[in-house]
Amino acid sequence: MEKKTVLITGASRGIGAAAAELFAANGYNAAINYYKSRAEAESLKEKILRRGGGAEIFRCDVSDARQAAEMTAAVKARYKTVDALINNAGIALYGLFTDLSGDDWERLSAVNISGALNVSKSVLPDMISRKSGCIINISSVLGLYGASCEVAYSAVKAALIGFTKALAKEVGPSGIRVNCVAPGVIMTDMNKNLTEEDMNALKAQTSLNAFGAPLDIAHAALFLASDTSKYITGQILSVDGGLVML
């Protein structure tokens, strides 16, 4: 039986890297997308290969539709199909809404939502023709609840949730499932600008009184990609330790 292939955007570190390792350990070829962090992507690939898994790296700015299409074609040339897509690439922005510049908004929305649209659009024709495949979007609990000083980020993550629900309805008749994971506070580089006071406040709002790890999100994605969840689509799975947004 041929291995399935997962394409993971923004996979050079954090949640994407954890997903690549986990999926590879569970029999997938891991197509690792990166844009700027080539060294980290190469290191991840080598780690997976040393463990007997399949992996290859693919450079692409997902906000560019042409690059997204070319990347998908390259993945298919290497592995024949894309069986699962994890739209993980994203950037954060913290600050007052009144200080938000037009350039800030354009880049934030280009990567976080347009990127997911571009790559999804490039993989879907083949999935639809095979009547098989799944798409998993990595959003955020902020897309559900919003947060002060993260208005723009909350907005694009909410857009990703709406995209998930609508696309699931559109491609469901073709046998394609589309779901979303909404992480809470996960210990990645994205949270490096938070102060100790901020972190303590967030931990106090979390029922489990602990922060999540990238692997927690990777496990949720693996579940949503597996046959165990074959009757689940259009859903938002919060993996947040019981975070209560005030």
Give tens-digit pLDDT for 105-121.
999 999 999 999 999 99
Q: Distance between CA 19 and CA 8 in Å, rounded?
A: 8
The residues assigned a catalytic role are 153
The domain segmentation of the chain, as residue ranges, is: 5-239
Cα 48 versus chain centre, distance: 19
Q: Give Cβ neighbours of residue 187 (< 8 Å, ≥ 6 apart).
A: 211, 212, 213, 214
Query: Which of the following CATH numbers is that of domain 5-239: 2.30.30.140, 3.40.50.720, 3.40.930.10, 3.20.20.140?
Result: 3.40.50.720
Query: What's the DSSP call for residue 208?
Result: T
Q: Is 204 helix (H, G, I), strand (E, B) or coil?
A: helix
pLDDT of residue 246: 54
Q: Mean pLDDT per segment of 10 residues, for the chain of length 246 residues?
A: 92 97 98 96 98 98 98 97 98 93 96 97 98 98 93 97 98 98 88 77 88 96 98 97 79
pLDDT of residue 1: 66
Entry field: residues in the chain: 246
Amino acid in position 100: L
Task: Quote the tokens at residue 195.
Answer: 């102060």
Reference 147, options 184, 121, 119, 173; nearest CA is: 184
pLDDT of residue 167: 98
* pTM of the predicted structure, to 2 decimals: 0.95
